[in-house]
Structure 1
Amino acid sequence: MRLAFMGTPDFSVPALHALHEAGHEIAVVYTQPPRPAGRGKALRLSPVQVAAQELGIEVRTPLSLRRNTAEHEYFAGLKLDAAVVAAYGLILPSAMLDAPAHGCLNIHASLLPRWRGAAPIQAAILAGDSESGVTIMQMDAGLDTGAMLTRDRVAITPRTTASSLHDDLAAMGARLIVETLRDIPPPRPQPEEGVTYAARLTREDGRLDWNRTADALDRQVRAMTPWPGTFTMLGGQTIKVGAVAVEAAGSAAVAGSMLDDRLLVACGNGTALRIIRLQRPGRGMMEAEAFLRGQPVPAGTRFDVAGA
């Protein structure tokens, strides 16, 4: 098939490679423009642009598509069989949605209609879902409301992080889109029941509130790995938390207080969480033992609690 590919982050790259390896003609790749990054604020190409340039595919990086009639005309002139969209980051106007013969197909990282929106991977872990997956969807003007073509699922375990689930779903999406394009199945409308939305994440979503239960905080840490990460305050310092484990509390204590000198923290409803990996300002992420050698945290010390 003659395709356009539209994507930006690492999640999209396996699908681009899979389509290329499957022999599809990728006429053009659309991705977000280079952005300033790092301490020097040098412009950084998106992962998709880097991959496309390595494959020798033309790359276009418009700032917006909504009223960009010149881009609409260019896109229509490509005479595409389909466009494949994977975490592109720009809204496609109807002029572009309708241009390819088979429309625009989206690789969405959830089992639609659950977790429409910007952060479905993190939302599934936060909510304690037992599974996630990928849906190949026929795009329409709504927010992830289009008819479904194919989907597959994967279990979410007690140790699944957003990083590991991201990689699993990226690989799954790459496989599914190739299978879908071999013989495009009849579209099926999404069920009207069970619709949920995953809002875009902010840094504040990583703040730990020790009044919540240990299970909820464990899910938060895993869901926010690697971004935005989770953090708490200790003695006026922002401490990043990289990994935790739920443990028995033994006795009720004030939420956020240390139950021993090895970072067992009291949480809501008499639960407790052991911090396994953490990071102080200006240092790298480290195991708890190494952290405590440089900054002991005796029993009774209290992390700041949101709202306290």
Structure 2
Amino acid sequence: MNFLLRCHRFSRVSPKGYLYSHNARIAARYFTISACRQQQDKLKILFFGTDDFAATHLKSLLQEKDQPQSVIDHIELVCPPDRRTGRKLNVITESATKSLAKLHNIPIHHTPPEAKHLNDWTVPGQFDLGVVVSFGYFIPAAVIASFGKGAVNVHPSLLPLYRGAAPIQHTILCGDSETGVTVQELHDKEFDAGRILQQERVALTVDGPPRYTTLVKQLAHVGSHLLVDTLRNFDHHKNHAITQDITKATKAPKIKKEWSEIDFATMQAWQIDQLHRAIGEQSPLRTVFEFEHGKKSGKVKRPLTMQLLNIFLPKHSAMLSMSPRPRSGSFIFDPMSQAIHVMCADGQVVGASHIKAENKGKTTAKEFMNGYTVGDIGRFGTASDEMVAPNTIHPIVKRLKMKPYPQM
């Protein structure tokens, strides 16, 4: 069997779009390096990306470029302009990819300021391949056509599952037992609908229920190696690409702020914990707390929005032995965990070690209890606010049909 046939045997994608096995992929890399990539011209790449996930992939391409038998000749970056951040918008922040590109002295091109699309944008030179990772813009057909070999994208899901801006968050919300990374061709009419060049599966729940901040780094590592492996024998993978099965496609739309609203009267403890692990780092979960503050005319009740931070499922809680059982939304301070414990709709408890009131800095649970003179027991969600509709199923729980992860 010659080298080219062996490359095809070990690195091709199965009919379901998955690589056959981890060992097969290692073998594919060996044959790709030893034979296949010698027949491929070096690539001039225009990289499109913004955040840390994209920067991990850009770093892998830069490292590949420095290898003796690299398939990469040249790399340039396209990213959004620097943006103003901070409470007073007085801090200028550049993207993670731009910071990396400056360290490696590669050319940087910004998208037009305030641009909503790239329909009028012109490619800054001649390139063989576009590589798009966590960029945020749809790449128009004219831009894709300007690259001699088209453009590819790294997407952190097993496409056609979870097409969209937030695949990792939706994977956790739905309680999936596995996820993965896909290297796909860019589709010129639709996000995440291109032919599959390679995929790698990643098992979840091995070390406990997944958390976004950990999983995104793991998938970035997997994706960056898969991307380099794809480029090392790009023509082969392109010739054996698999069309996505549209009947199996699911959506993973952008996370909305209202998804972070907690209704303790309808949500179970595990649902709140899982929602926190999926979106809490980006959109901290929030509820309403009604407290009294003094005025000359007497005490006045005022509802405040509170963010609950570092949410977890306590193994033990004094609330569970109280008689009668506290109403949902009731909370106490637990000295052992130094956290507040909150009663949920299923009679179970969630904990939160820190709390942040609107327009205030975050405080520890003990500081919150003392600062708002809560007493022995307080209650969230008591105000007739517009955040949560009482006695209704939480919209995210209902829409996603959440499934719990096994607790370790």
- TM-score (ref. length: structure 2): 0.68
What's the secondary structure of 1:280's corresponding residue?
strand
Query: Is the 1:32–1:89 contact (alpha carbons within 8 Å) kept by the matching residues of 2?
Result: no
What's the secondary structure of 1:19's corresponding residue?
helix
- 2:273 aligned partner: 218
* 2:206 counterpart of 1:151: no
Counterpart-to-counterpart distance in 2, 1:149 and 1:108: 12
Aligned residues, how many?
A: 300
- 1:96 aligned partner: 143
- TM-score (ref. length: structure 1): 0.88
Runs of 5+ unmatched residues, structure 1: none
Counterpart-to-counterpart distance in 2, 1:257 and 1:223: 24
Instruction: Tell me the alpha carbon deviations over residues 228-285 of structure 1, each in whole angstroms, 9 at most, x when there is no partner.
Output: 1211122223322222216685686532223x543332222x2423213222332336
Runs of 5+ unmatched residues, structure 2: 1-42, 66-71, 291-302, 335-339, 383-387, 391-408
Counterpart-to-counterpart distance in 2, 1:86 and 1:136: 10
- 2:312 aligned partner: 244
Give 1:17 deviation, angstroms.
Answer: 0.8
Q: How does 1:152-301 map to 2 (within 5 A)?
A: 152-157=200-205, 158-184=208-234, 185=237, 186-210=240-264, 211-235=266-290, 236-241=303-308, 242-245=310-313, 254-258=327-331, 260-262=332-334, 263-268=340-345, 270-281=346-357, 282-284=360-362, 286=364, 288-289=365-366, 291-292=368-369, 294=371, 297=374, 301=378
Instruction: Tell me the alpha carbon deviations over residues 141-168 of structure 1, each in whole angstroms, 9 at most, x when there is no partner.
Output: 2121111111122233344211111111
Cα gap change, 1:191 to 1:252, in 2 (>3 Å)? farther
Letter in 1 for 2:389: G
- 2:118 aligned partner: 66
Query: Is the 1:125–1:223 contact (alpha carbons within 8 Å) kept by the matching residues of 2?
Result: yes
Letter in 1 for 2:267: R
Give 1:202 deviation, angstroms.
Answer: 2.5
- 2:47 aligned partner: 5
Identify the match of residue 25 of structure 1 among 44, 66, 73. 73
Counterpart-to-counterpart distance in 1, 2:73 and 2:255: 35
Give 1:292 deviation, angstroms.
Answer: 4.1
Counterpart-to-counterpart distance in 1, 2:173 and 2:363: 22
Counterpart-to-counterpart distance in 2, 1:278 and 1:195: 39
Query: Is the 2:158–2:179 contact (alpha carbons within 8 Å) kept by the matching residues of 1?
Result: yes
Letter in 2 for 1:221: H
Query: Is the 1:20–1:26 contact (alpha carbons within 8 Å) kept by the matching residues of 2?
Result: no
What's the secondary structure of 2:223's corresponding residue?
helix
Letter in 2 for 1:151: Q
